[in-house]
Structure 1
Amino acid sequence: MAQEPRIDVESKTSTVESSLAPEQIERIASVLGDPGVWFATPPVREGEAAEPDLVWELVADKPHRGLVATGRAHVHLVKGRTAPVRPLIFADGFNYGPSDLAGMWRHFNTPYEPGVPGLLDQLLEMGLDVILLGFDQRQAYVQANAAVAVTCLRRVLETRRGDTPLIVGGVGAGGMITRYALARMESEGVDHQTDKYFSYDTPHLGAWIPLVLQQLAYLHETIQPRPDGAGQAELIRSPAAQQLLWGWLPGTSYSGRVTDSSPLRKELLADLRRIGWFPMRPYKLGLANGSGEGRGPDLRPGTPVLDLGEGPLRLVARIQPDQGELRNVGAIGFGEPVWTSATSYVAAFDGAPGGTMDAFGRVADAMGLPIEDRFRGTCFVPSVSAIALARDPLTWPSELYTDLRQLQKDETFLDAYCCDSGNTPHGAVSRTLVEWFVDQLAGW
């Protein structure tokens, strides 16, 4: 029987801060810096963003846990059209706060090489009307934002000229939101008229943010609250993070299991199973920013990355160890440890093949600490998650390093998928992914 992945914290008192003197708290706070809400991706400001032909304000068709989510769509029509004819809905992903649809356009339309049109321009040239779907709370429940996606789908069907089927999907959490929306409509007997679904580096099995960095985010906001009230762990504690992270922690001092520590994740998985798991009608495409060759970034498990060993303060954060019992991932001390964190039976996620996020890099920059370039980015969406390996989302990590090039068809919940040529940042646009995606849509 497999052992339950867990984390164990040792502290002199019930909380880290209560075991520290005021001057020690001040020292830690000054070292951790203040990068705002940790792990939030900054908006893309460089480049031109096309003005949408239409802007739709959207309200969810039903509440989830009392939340009636809202959002909007930027509709970019093929030249000469006044309404969608061949619609492609592209949903935004997980982040803090409202979607920046102009920034989303800039990001996904950035040419992957000189002289080649960006992805969105290529789609328009193919005769596809591009509808960028955003949410006012990207960190809200998947089910709540899926209800916004349902409203968007209905709006498209109401305004579409002709009867050409839809293409619907999204990046990151946007792929989960649209997956849920389409499956929910099918379960309710509603014809969504979608023939193709796509997910762009979507964490179908779960995403990963280093557990020790989650702990440091909670610690920092506790000892140095932000004046604007937005804590450093605001994104970590959000509903979407609880639902989509494979390992999630509720606080710095938490000890216990990490895969089902939030009831919101179990609830989302149960809801997905209730409505059919995946939508059945569409042909399902998956794009993964990670490599499919089973090789991840060069990150040796257990290696210290952030190591402040000078002076009286000692603060260490390590690359996630590979399995084992009570493997140290972090420590804080003044002469002797006042807080240590260790994991048991947790796989070596940081170095797994997948779409990356510069989690350690951002924290190091905020702390003013040097960091080797190879340690900046760790796995965020494992390749096996992005291609929806046919596994239970709570028990799959033993196969993080699977070679996906010769995978049998029944080994994934998707109909076709493409992995990038290397491990690139989550949501990055590359020649490999764009050309494969465009080819999949050609002739449709």
Structure 2
Amino acid sequence: MSEPSREQIVSALHERPAIALAPGTRLDAERPGSLPVSPSAVWDLPGGTAWVYRGEGNPGLVRPVILADGFGTGPSELESSWQVLEFGDYPLISELRRRGRDVILLGHHERGASILDNSRTARAAITRALVERQGGTPLVVGGFSTGGLVTRHALARMEFEGLDHGTGLYFSYDSPHRGAWIPVALQAFAHYVRDLDGRFSDQINSPATRELLWRHIGTWNGTPDRDGARATFLAEMAAVGEWPRRPRLIGVANGTADGVGTDVRAGELALEGTGGSVVGTRLHTQAPGPDEPVAKLRVVAAKTHEVRTTGLPSIDGAPGGSLEGFGILADGLNALHPDLGLTTAVRIRSHCFVPSVSAVDIGELDTDDELYKDISALPAGTGGLDAYRLASRNEPHALVTGELCTWLLSHLP
């Protein structure tokens, strides 16, 4: 059989869903047997939508809990939110409603938009909840992953402007308060194939991703560094006081507190091209040290290019919430017809996405000593949160579990 043409490969890639990094169920997971319950109301907000579910027995909005959507690309989808929050390991929506809480699922027209832009949508949801609330029960406001940063900024900005947000409790669920991580190897691959399919690269270069990532590259051969968008975001957080001060601040993390990482070792081969169009491509987990090779890239070309880094820590195996970044890429390529020659073998599916120290605002990500520190040994009051809970095992980012949710529910006012 003849080699596939460049045009055939481009066409096949665009006929499939975009390769996009996001937490949630795998591509081969079964769809839930139930559909989302119809909401009591739908709010059309600037830059987003809120789906409102009244608590059991509530005649209107009585005890509102705003849950903001998290990391991803494209618009928030109600079915996806229910799949994660209700049909996964713990039925959080049902449990909140059973306790008389009104659930407001806050989504965005574009999850990859700037956190500061989506913060305006959160402010609109908070304002409307205050207008429609019956009685004086304080709001509970927070979010999952990026949603925790969106709502954190919204509340802090409202306080800075002298506005009443009526919130008694803020929570974050595995939110990257000190930054998130996507391996340089994956970022480089996304940009390397941009002329074949730019959607993966577009996600890596989206405003939200650039604001979130501790280190980012904008081209396949770029130098990992703090992106200008992240610098702007951090400056804005500093300008509004970093945190809201009126509500109690709590958070949970999908990583452990004991400083013990996963079995992902530094410098290991994670993904290898096996099809003729990608033979020579090899993506590795991040290794510390000077001039470390992290990727060899060859896609529909004769030449292989190498990517190296200097001074980055062993972050892929750090304790924290994980993302199946290498696995998502492999699944996307392997779903294409094998005659296109884009098949891969994946040896390591997951990497740390939100280190534990980031999710509970305890430390920076610059060194192994910081990433692998024993959080359980730190004195109370360390970090920006008033209270936090970490998981008993390192698990997927933003996984809704009974262990973390029961602790969260026990702290609701």
Assess same fold via TM > 0.5.
Answer: yes
* Residue 78 of structure 1, CA deviation: 1.5
Q: Does residue 1:369 correspond to 2:344, yes or no?
A: yes
* Residue 308 of structure 1, CA deviation: 3.6
Aligned 1:96-135 pairs, distance under 5 A: 96-110=73-87, 112=89, 118-135=91-108
The answer on whether the counterparts of 2:96 and 2:103 sit within 8 Å (CA) in structure 1 is yes
The answer on whether the counterparts of 1:308 and 1:316 sit within 8 Å (CA) in structure 2 is yes
Q: Does residue 1:53 correspond to 2:21, yes or no?
A: no
* Structure 1 counterpart of 2:236, from 271, 279, 283: 271
- Alpha-carbon distance in 1 for matches of 2:58, 2:168: 22
* Residue 162 of structure 1, CA deviation: 0.6
The answer on whether the counterparts of 1:304 and 1:319 sit within 8 Å (CA) in structure 2 is yes
Counterpart of 2:58 in structure 1 is 81
Q: Deviations over 1:170-213 (max 9, x none)?
A: 00000000000000000001111111000001000111111111
**Cα gap change, 1:78/1:295 in structure 2, threshold over 3 Å: closer, same or farther?**
same
* Residue 105 of structure 1, CA deviation: 2.0
Aligned 1:285-364 pairs, distance under 5 A: 285-308=250-273, 313-321=279-287, 323-332=288-297, 338-364=304-330
- Alpha-carbon distance in 2 for matches of 1:310, 1:338: 15
- Alpha-carbon distance in 2 for matches of 1:364, 1:76: 37
- Alpha-carbon distance in 2 for matches of 1:314, 1:406: 45
Q: Does residue 1:185 correspond to 2:158, yes or no?
A: yes
**Cα gap change, 1:245/1:122 in structure 2, threshold over 3 Å: closer, same or farther?**
same
Q: Deviations over 1:338-394 (max 9, x none)?
A: 41111111011111111111111122222432334xx11111111111111155x7x
Counterpart of 1:155 in structure 2 is 128
The answer on whether the counterparts of 1:36 and 1:231 sit within 8 Å (CA) in structure 2 is no
TM-score normalised according to structure 1 size: 0.82
Counterpart of 1:137 in structure 2 is 110
**Overall identity of the aligned pairs, in %:** 36
- Alpha-carbon distance in 1 for matches of 2:271, 2:13: 13
**Cα gap change, 1:111/1:26 in structure 2, threshold over 3 Å: closer, same or farther?**
closer
Q: Deviations over 1:88-123 (max 9, x none)?
A: 10000121111012321231113637xxxx111111
SS at match of 1:144: helix
- Alpha-carbon distance in 1 for matches of 2:115, 2:81: 19
The answer on whether the counterparts of 1:96 and 1:235 sit within 8 Å (CA) in structure 2 is yes
* Residue 286 of structure 1, CA deviation: 0.7
SS at match of 1:314: coil
Compute the RMSD of aligned alpha carbons. Answer: 2.6
- Alpha-carbon distance in 1 for matches of 2:263, 2:6: 35
Amino acid at match of 1:280: R
Counterpart of 2:356 in structure 1 is 383
- Give structure 1 stretches of 5+ with no counterpart: 1-22, 60-69
The answer on whether the counterparts of 2:23 and 2:396 sit within 8 Å (CA) in structure 1 is no
TM-score normalised according to structure 2 size: 0.88
SS at match of 1:294: coil
- Give structure 2 stretches of 5+ with no counterpart: 26-30, 335-342
Amino acid at match of 1:235: Q
- Alpha-carbon distance in 1 for matches of 2:23, 2:312: 30
Q: Count residues with an aligned counterpart.
A: 392
Amino acid at match of 1:364: A
* Residue 259 of structure 1, CA deviation: 3.1
The answer on whether the counterparts of 1:37 and 1:235 sit within 8 Å (CA) in structure 2 is no
Amino acid at match of 1:363: L
Amino acid at match of 2:214: W
Q: Deviations over 1:3-53 (max 9, x none)?
A: xxxxxxxxxxxxxxxxxxxx89959969x9776433343877423312110
Greater alpha carbon shift after TM alignment, 79-88 vs 339-348: 79-88
Aligned 1:9-20 pairs, distance under 5 A: none
- Alpha-carbon distance in 1 for matches of 2:270, 2:97: 44
Counterpart of 2:218 in structure 1 is 250
- Alpha-carbon distance in 2 for matches of 1:345, 1:337: 27
The answer on whether the counterparts of 1:89 and 1:168 sit within 8 Å (CA) in structure 2 is yes
Amino acid at match of 1:401: Y
**Cα gap change, 1:43/1:418 in structure 2, threshold over 3 Å: closer, same or farther?**
closer
